[in-house]
Amino acid sequence: MAGLNETPKGDRIHIAFFGLRNAGKSTLVNSFTRQDVAIVSDVAGTTTDPVSKAMEILPLGPCLVTDTAGLDDVGELGGKRVEKTLSVLATADIAVWVDGETAPSSSTENLFRKRFDDECRRRGVAVLEYRRGDSVDALRARIAALRLADMPPGLLDGIASPKDRIVCVCPIDESAPKGRLILPQVQLIRECLDIGAWCAVCQPRELRDVLRELRCSLVVTDSQAFGEVRRVLADMPPENRPALTSFSILFARQKGDLAEYLKGLAAIRSLKDGDRVLVAEGCTHHRQCNDIGTVKIPKALAKIAGRQLQFSFASGAAFGVSPGADAPALVVQCGGCMLTRREVLRRIGICREACVPIVNYGMLLAAAHGLAGTRPDGLVEI
């Protein structure tokens, strides 16, 4: 239960520290976080993999601070460490370049810095510079004063207001974790509290009775329950019928690009027998016998496309799409509750560059359960 009392990694501002070996990155990270997060040594290359620590920096809020290996690491393993270090930029909102006590002494060192600056510029990452011996408190203050341009909107922005009544439909089945709600459900309930909306929670079988007692403006359902929820709402008079969406679609709206997902939904009709579809989840979990990613999504997609398709699966930080002959014909991406907005948009950008359509779990399941379609605002037509 402890994890439910912490802000998830996907909702934290990611601050990463970069530089050459022995520049003092690990020492700085320990001073910055006021904890022994990273191993400190005079031996070049002590940090081999990114090491992260969650903390609060006011007024920014919850952050994730990451130490990385030196960008000038050498040898075969060193090259892999550098690649891992640069991959941290995929999720970094703020990058801190750590210089040693003296300025770079060679053109080679300058090339490492230029490569770093170019990557940050390409990805739109805010860059700060710190020289060993400078004030750590001053650096913390500079970071706290930043105003990031691409912070995600609220889950309910534009579709709910204070005192609105919202019903969350949360199935408790074999895939539900014992004794708690899943992260998207918890975050949606919290957002209702934040905006001053009233929230009721029920299972699909209770929705009809709840709507008889409570006139609400919005129903947010687990995407897997779209069929049951659609039948209940379809029986209501249109003038009394609440709007409908799902947790997955709300997260896709907050962290992704609904316009791109809508294009991906339309592209399903163009799939051919034998096409490969990549199903990508942002979290890693034990697979259930009726798992959504490996069982329900393939069934839903086959139902809509009417084709014999091949499937591959990625979870966690893995994605596995790049331009070329091995690219899939379609990507189905989860809502991304465990991913940062930067990472979800990066995945969408990779798909766009590779000319691979991408669609969201919730939008796909809504179509498979006979709903008319997802609107650009994230609401689903009955």
First-residue to last-residue Cα distance in the chain: 36
What are 28-58's pLDDT values in tens digits?
999 998 888 766 655 555 556 788 988 888 8
What are 124-179's pLDDT values in tens digits?
899 999 998 899 999 999 998 887 766 778 999 999 999 999 999 999 877 677 77
Q: Among all chains, which residue has been given the structure tokens 């990507």?
A: 331
At residue 76's C-alpha, the angle toward residues 70 and 77, to 5°, is 55
Architecture of domain 2-144: 3-Layer(aba) Sandwich (3.40)
pTM metric for this prediction: 0.80
Architecture of domain 165-251: 3-Layer(aba) Sandwich (3.40)
The predicted model gives 92-118 an average pLDDT of 80
What are 355-374's pLDDT values in tens digits?
999 999 999 999 999 998 89
The ranges assigned to domains in the chain are: 2-144, 165-251, 257-368
Q: Which CATH number fits domain 257-368: 3.40.50.11410, 3.40.30.10, 1.10.15.40, 3.40.50.300?
A: 3.40.50.11410
CA distances (Å), origin 105, targets 110, 151, 295, 361: 8, 37, 57, 51
Closest listed residue to residue 261, CA positions, set 230, 223, 234: 223
Element (H, E) at 358: strand 358-360
What are 239-271's pLDDT values in tens digits?
999 999 999 999 999 999 999 999 999 999 999
Same CATH topology for 2-144 and 165-251: the answer is yes
Beta strands in 34-124 (DSSP E): 51-57, 61-67, 94-99
DSSP code of residue 214: -
